[in-house]
Amino acid sequence: MENPATETHADRGNFIWDFIDEDLASGRYDHVRTRYPPEPNGHLHIGHCKAIYIDAMTARRYGGKFNLRFDDTNPAKEEQEFVDGIMEDIRWYGFDWDDGPYFASDYYEQCYGLAEKLILQGDAYVDELTQEQMRDYRGTLTQPGRDSPFRERPADESLALFRRMRSGEFPEGSYTLRARIDMSSPNVNLRDPVLYRILYKEHHRAGKAWCIYPMYDYAHPIGDALEGITHSLCSMEYEIHRPLYDWVVGKCGFENPPRQIEFARLNVTRTVMSKRFLRRLVEAGKTRGWDDPRMPTIAGMRRRGYPQSALVDFIERAGVSKVDSTVDASLLEHCVREALEETAPRAMAALRPLKVILTNWPEGKSDAVTLENHPNHPEMGSRTLTFGRELYIERDDFMENPPKKYFRLYPGGEVRLKGAYIVRCDRAVKDEAGEVVALECTVDMESRSGSPGSARKVKGTLHWVSGADAVPLSVRLYGPLLVDEPTVEADSETSDEDPEAEAKTAKPVKTDFENRINPDSLAELSGCLGEPTLARARVGDRFQFMRQGYFAVDPDSGDGAIVFNRTVGLKDSWAKRIQG
């Protein structure tokens, strides 16, 4: 298994490792095996990065094993596309599993056999209540539930019905298999939860072999136990599910079952942290898919240009605790910016180009200008650009009537063009509508960078692109997907298959976040121009566009059309906050 973390972070303790140290010292376990158990009903998001990191790094710390298991118990929402995408995401993130991938569907026969065992032990029964009736019988958070009229059904009768359920003799919703636990328990998860339901859906792996499917809360602990997991690490919303987890593995007869330990989930400002709601955004057409660079999915962040190391750095800085907190999204951007500052080569591009005509530059004359690819890493080499009579600068770098201390270009003002010459703006050329369409400038021919005349100083330095060989670009600029804090109090991992999960966790899920979609979260710029070296850029390549930000080549590039995503801007609000 790869280790993308630094040794300093890997050696840093936390409460999870304290518990594991106690288990090893007491002899409860003599080894450590963890697992990451995603449901293949969507793509992974930034919240899952924390769970993957904790599971994988815990196994590494103790020289143990790290499993990948897909808890594929709901064929109505699960697809092979998500299985493939999740594996790609985990590997890109820098981790690999020691064993697997496994699937809950690998254990369907064992789950079924154990369900028959529970029936014969008197720990499960076949029920005929509808979903609405079951909800009414369950009670509330303050009122106990009531026993189903079918709760005392004899074991042999329940067993016969359960086998007929498997044979496909009954319609959906007519029967369920429920655990017989305690309808008066203050924990609603123990009020005779459903273990199996009838579902005539083709499974992405099992096909049509099954028409009854185990519920997540039943199959999940069995999968852990069958794989020999020692420590089931999960986020805090599973704490209320832990008694059911322990009941399942105990009643099924597993010796030395896994220990469940919960940690606080990752919350990030202006970010929806639930696959259920992210899926709604995709299906409603609010985004361009799971890998939309505005999405907090690993696929989206990868497409946007986030380095893998930045995500690891962010998760490490967020830390591991049992107390819920919210991390500012600007910290993630800071981690991305720090990583790219060291690794991204520099390039020049004009996103909103404005033509510059050097009136005293001889027609047909060109000059070769050499620029370093990275100011702090000479080993990254240099590139040579052509400087000629017609150039382009950024339109925002010119003002006709500038304020005081404006150090860019204006009529009568001078700037240095990066690595080249000092130029003075003589006249703004306008079209019939009065819009500035070009600047006529004069070059100080003695001011070439590196020449004796370069000692003359001006306060502004601008990036530029040669008109002779500029490369056309399309650029996508991204802002926050949500305009302010989301009201979604959803989980980062909780199973989506239970329609009553919200009531069970006692955390209401508000859905008005769709009204908070930022209409300005995407700006698409065409007609951008870049230096000719960008013509060789390939999908995934990252650059710092000087004075603009960090950009990555998007997969939509092709057939001579290069599309860049702005990964992150140059301004670092997080660094300013912690310094000031």
Residue 218 contacts residue 195 (beta carbons within 8 Å): yes
CA-to-CA dists, residue 86 to 89, 91, 362, 537, angstroms: 5, 9, 58, 27
197/166 Cα distance (integer angstroms): 10
**Residue 322 annotated as catalytic:** no
Altogether, the residues listed in the chain come to a count of 580
User: Could you give the CA distance from residue 386 to residue 131 in angstroms, rounded to a whole number?
Assistant: 72
By CB atoms closer than 10 A (0-12, 13-18, 19+), residue 63 is exposed
Among positive and negative, which fits the CA dihedral 243, 248, 254, 260? negative
**Known catalytic residue at 275:** yes
Q: How far is CA 373 from the centre of its chain?
A: 30
- Cα–Cα distance for residue pair 263/239, rounded to 1 Å: 9
Catalytic (active site) residue 208: no
What angle do the packed helices 242-251 and 216-226 form, to 10 degrees?
Answer: 60
Q: Cβ atoms within 10 A of the Cβ of 58, count?
A: 23
First to last CA, the chain: 40
- Widest distance between CA atoms in the chain: 101
Give me the catalytic one of 265, 346, 476, 504: 265
Cβ(237)–Cβ(493) below 8 Å = yes
Selected catalytic residue, list 35, 275, 337, 504: 275
Select which of 35, 39, 50, 476 is catalytic: 39
* β pairing state of 65-70 and 99-103: parallel
Among all residues, which ones are annotated catalytic?
39, 265, 275
